[in-house]
Amino acid sequence: MKLLPIERRSNLSREEFIENYLKPKKPVIFTDLVKDWPALDKWTFDWLRKNYGHIEVPLFDNHIHDTKNYFQAAKTMPFGEYLTLIEQGPTDLRIFLFDIFKIVPELANDIRFPTIMDGFLKSYKFMFFGGQNSVVNLHYDMDCSNVFLTQFQTRKQAILFAPDKSANLYQHPFTVQSHVNPLNPDYERYPAMKNLEGYEATFGHGETLFIPSLWWHYIKYVDGGFSLALRANDSIFTTARGGWNVVRHTFIDKGMTKLAGESWKQWKERKAIENANEVLV
């Protein structure tokens, strides 16, 4: 498997971004897209803990894909206690798809929607928090949006693959998930990963990773920290595909997980291997 560095760009114009990254669906890291956000200096661990530490937040761990706890929170905790936890060292507890703006609307005053493209979904602003070395399994976003992921305070590592690599990544049917580990690939079990080519980068405070629609991504928290994802749609076709993803996840995958449990999970893994074997022929 070969991982190429993700380009880093400063002063990228709207026109150049659209022609060179959005249209060809190519990832890029903006070093200065959010340089004017008040949040950059304001949103520290101490400030969030002092002002919003009382909020009860749902936490997810590495068992999120287990059939008994499928996409269910492992526990809840006061936000301030959780921030202290991820500052202190490694933990697998994460907060994801956290719309803190519904709880604290005034936080929206600290960010600005970019003008780098049209179609930003202003009602969907999600935050992600994790401890050092915690990971987000390989997946592409269910709604199929283009994602602008801005990191705060600390560092994240991202590995990305193009949509046409789904079979090589052993995608589980009826999901947007893969259970392979691109940081430590098991070529004996997953030989179709050997010839993969992807992109990799570590990005830090104030930098924004552009993840094109339908691109697979694996995220590792190099340090305990947090990020904000803004989403934008540029095609009615990907919007429709996102709707189908929600339907199949909610009614097919979660329904079958509830009915069949571990046997459904094992069937998905077998089908993923069968599909990958076809691209090896």
pTM reported for the whole predicted model: 0.94
What is the C-alpha to C-alpha distance for residues 256 and 229, in angstroms, rounded to an integer? Answer: 30
In terms of Cα–Cα distance, which of 137, 129, 147, 111 is closest to 223? Answer: 129
Q: Give me the residues of the chain with pLDDT under 50, please.
A: none
Q: What is the pLDDT of residues 57-106, one digit of tens each?
A: 999 988 777 777 777 888 999 999 999 999 998 999 999 888 999 999 99
pLDDT at 280: 85
In terms of Cα–Cα distance, which of 28, 27, 55, 31 is closest to 127? Answer: 55
Q: % helix / strand / coil in the chain, to the nearest 5?
A: 35, 30, 35
pLDDT at 239: 85
Which CATH architecture best describes the domain 2-280?
A: Sandwich (2.60)
**Ramachandran angles phi, psi of 42, nearest 5°:** -85, -40
In terms of Cα–Cα distance, which of 187, 156, 211, 203 is closest to 276? Answer: 187
pLDDT at 65: 78
* Spatial contact of 203 and 210, defined as CB atoms under 8 Å apart: no
pLDDT at 268: 96
Residue 254, classified by CB atoms within 10 Å of its CB into exposed (0-12), middle (13-18) or buried (19+), is middle
pLDDT at 25: 97
Q: What is the pLDDT of residues 9-18, one digit of tens each?
A: 999 999 999 9
Query: How do the domains of the chain map onto residue ranges?
Result: 2-280
- DSSP bridge pairs for 150: 208, 228
In terms of Cα–Cα distance, which of 122, 105, 126 is closest to 113? Answer: 122
